[in-house]
């Protein structure tokens, strides 16, 4: 995120940086890491796995319902957001 200032200027979206050693500030990230451990133990060398295997794990995680999304899947929530953006009339 070395270009976060350019991103903020281009999108008018502020970038938030968590404090170091403060996992409670990035709960979704910590939860996703925990879910990944179901597939890949901590310290796993990702180069030992095929891209197909990594894509499969990604797909499974995206299709897993999440409590924080009212038990929707991340992919369903993303698609709903994209659809709602398309429906906003352009000025």
In the chain, domain spans: 1-36, 50-91
- 10 vs 1, which has greater pLDDT? 10
Q: What is the pLDDT of residues 11-64, one digit of tens each?
A: 888 898 999 999 888 888 888 899 999 999 999 999 999 999 999 999 999 999
> Please, which pLDDT band fits residue 65 given cuts at 50, 70 and 90?
very high
**What pTM does this model have?**
0.67
Rounded to the nearest 5 degrees, what angle is found at the Cα of 68, between the Cα atoms of 64 and 70? 80
List, in order, residues 6 or more apart from 4 with CB less than 8 Å away.
Answer: 15
pLDDT, position 89 = 66
Report whether 7 contacts 15 (CB < 8 A): yes
């Amino acid at each position: 995120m070395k270009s976060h200032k350019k991103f903020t200027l281009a999108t008018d979206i502020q970038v938030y940086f968590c404090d170091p050693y403060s996992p409670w500030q990035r709960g979704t990230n910590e939860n996703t890491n925990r879910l990944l451990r179901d597939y890949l133990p901590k310290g796993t060398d990702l180069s030992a796995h095929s891209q197909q295997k990594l894509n499969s794990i990604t797909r499974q995680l995206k299709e897993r319902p999440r409590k924080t999304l009212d038990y929707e899947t991340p992919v369903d929530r993303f698609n709903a957001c994209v659809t709602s953006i398309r429906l906003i009339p352009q000025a």
